[in-house]
Structures are given as C-alpha cells and as structure tokens.
Amino acid sequence: MYLRCLLVPTAPGLDATRRLDAALRLCRRLNAHIGVAFMAPGPAEVLAGIASLGPIDGLAISAIARGVREAAAEGEAALRAWCAREGVPLTSRPERLDSTFASWTEHTGEVEPLLTLAGRVNDLVIVDRPDPEEPFTGRALDTALFSVGRPTLMIGQSVPADLLSHVVIAWNGSLEATRLIGQSITLLHEAGRVTVVHAETGRRTEMRAADLSAYLRWHGIVAESMALPVPEGMSVGAAILGAAEAQGASMLALGAYTHSRVRELLLGGVTRHVIENARMPVLMGH
C-alpha cells in the first residue's frame, strides 16, 4: 500500500513541531502530503463539561466560540511559520499530487469521531506519546489505534534525522502485527536496514512457522532476523526496547495490544511498556 497522505492531528495549545518534522522526513522519501487537522471542542462540548457549574448565558457561549477561533488562528500561524522555515508549500490545491506539501483543516467537536473519520481517509496517523498533562495526546493515540484502521506513528521527545535508516520489527505472528506489516510495506521498502526481532516466549514455535523475513524477501525487502532471549524478571516490552536501542533503531514497529487493553492496563504488557518508555518513534497497528 502506498503511503501518500500523512495525517497530523493537533489541538489548541499543542506544539506540533516534532510530529511535523517526522512527517516531513517521511514525506520527502515518499512524495507524500502532510494533512494537519486542528481539532477543538465546540461550544456544545465545552458547555457539557461545565454544565454543573451553573447557568450559561449567551456571552459565555460567544466567548467559548471566540476562544476556539483564536486557538485555530494561532495553530494555523504556527504551521505557516514551520512551512516557511522548511520550504514546504501550504496549499489545498497543489500543482502536483506526487510532491510534498501541507494542508490545514479545522474541525470542532469530540476528538474521537473527528479523528476516526479523518484518519480513515489517510494512510498514516502521526501522534505524540501520551502526556498526562495534555489529555488530547492520549485520546488521539487511543483513537488512532482502536478506531481508525490505519498505521499509527507515535513520536517521542526526539525525531531521528532519518526515521527509516533502521527499522526494527517486533514480530510475534499476531493478527495485529500481520495487519501492520501489510499496511507498511511501502515504509519498509524505503528503510535502509530492517531487522526482525523474535522474542523467545511460549509462542516461539508459531513465530517460526510464520517466517516474516522470508515473506519480506518476496516483496524485495532483505531483513535480518534475530532471536531475542528474555531474561528472567524482565518484561518482553523491556527486552524489545532494549534490543532496538542496542541495534541503533531509528523506528520500532509492532502490533499493538495483542492482549486486550484492559488486561494490559491491569497486568502490564508489551504495548503499554513501549508506549510509556519508548524514546524512538514507534509504528503501531491494532
């Protein structure tokens, strides 16, 4: 599948620079488009959250609407400044579709339905690692993973100069990992190096039967394969992250929430550990 449309959702007060930088570095390899979608709660959503505080008059509603407009204007101005610095055209009518450009759209309402609909008409959703002080970041990641049906790229505190210099794939033969590989073949084709990591767990036999490296060769991708022992007392997530860092990975790819999300929240799990601790960009699919 070609990746031509990369979606960067953002919200009032959020700095999208890291996500834009990551999107641009991918776009220049893929001749893709960066779609920046500004999502803010409208008056109805804000009022629903403060209804218990007492009656709301027309002036308050007008103030809420004005605040949303001002936040959107600030977000668009920040995007224009970033585009000017990076030499990226900001337009809704590009001269060529096989070129890198950015576009800006504004949406009001709840994050989940807005991002679900926007994400489904894009090829990749780029989000921040969840920050407890920024509720939008957690809601965006959850929605991208569970509702959109497209790969999700989570960006941490830094963005490698080349996100595709070395992609490490955490392979466990799961349905989630299989979907991610199928949707990300284009990215893997562009990678300078690909390593498939098999964590040595109880599913090791199943993973041998599903030889991902052999499959990738049929698609012109030469991947190294590495068995990863998991020391006693270490979680699989920690072992995978440690191996990826030791290998100098520029990106980690894994199927997300092979077990239920509730189970991972209660008992821990690979996805939860990676989301909470990864410093490198993480490509995920559910």
Task: Annotate the chain with three-state secondary structure.
Answer: CCCCEEEEEECCCCCCHHHHHHHHHHHHHHCCEEEEEEEECCHHHHHHHHHHHCCCCHHHHHHHHHHHHHHHHHHHHHHHHHHHHHCCCECCCCCCCCCCCEEEEEEECCHHHHHHHHHCCCCEEEEECCECCEHHHHHHHHHHHHHHCCCEEEECCCCCCCCCCCEEEECCCCHHHHHHHHHCHHHHHHCCCEEEEEECCCCHHHHHHCCHHHHHHHCCCCEEEEEECCCCCCCHHHHHHHHHHHCCCCEEEEECCCCCHHHHHHHCCHHHHHHHHCCCCEEEEC
Q: Higher pLDDT residue, 149 or 200?
A: 149
How far apart CA 6 and CA 26 sit, in angstroms, is 9
- Whether residue 228 contacts residue 145, with contact meaning beta carbons closer than 8 Å, is answered with no
Q: What angle separates helix 111-119 from helix 135-143, to the nearest 10 degrees? A: 40
The pLDDT of residue 46 is 61
> 5-155 domain in CATH 3.40.50.620?
yes
The pLDDT of residue 86 is 97
Domain extents for the chain? 5-155, 167-285
Provide the mean pLDDT of the chain: 88
Q: What angle separates helix 236-246 from helix 270-277, to the nearest 10 degrees? A: 50
- Whether residue 286 contacts residue 146, with contact meaning beta carbons closer than 8 Å, is answered with yes
The pLDDT of residue 267 is 43
pTM: 0.90
Confidence of residue 62 (pLDDT cuts 50, 70, 90): confident
The pLDDT of residue 1 is 61
Confidence of residue 137 (pLDDT cuts 50, 70, 90): very high
How far apart CA 276 and CA 148 sit, in angstroms, is 21
User: Which one-letter amino acid corresponds to residue 207?
Assistant: M
pLDDT, average across residues 173-188 = 93
Is the pLDDT at 266 greater than 50? The verdict is: no
The pLDDT of residue 209 is 36
User: Could you say which architecture CATH assigns to the domain 167-285?
Assistant: 3-Layer(aba) Sandwich (3.40)
The pLDDT of residue 97 is 79
Confidence of residue 203 (pLDDT cuts 50, 70, 90): low
How far apart CA 53 and CA 79 sit, in angstroms, is 35
The pLDDT of residue 59 is 65
The pLDDT of residue 25 is 97
Confidence of residue 68 (pLDDT cuts 50, 70, 90): confident
In the sheet where 152-155 sits, what is the strand order? 102-108, 33-40, 5-10, 124-128, 152-155, 282-285, 251-255, 167-170, 194-199, 223-228
The pLDDT of residue 55 is 56
What share of the chain in percent tops pLDDT 70? 86
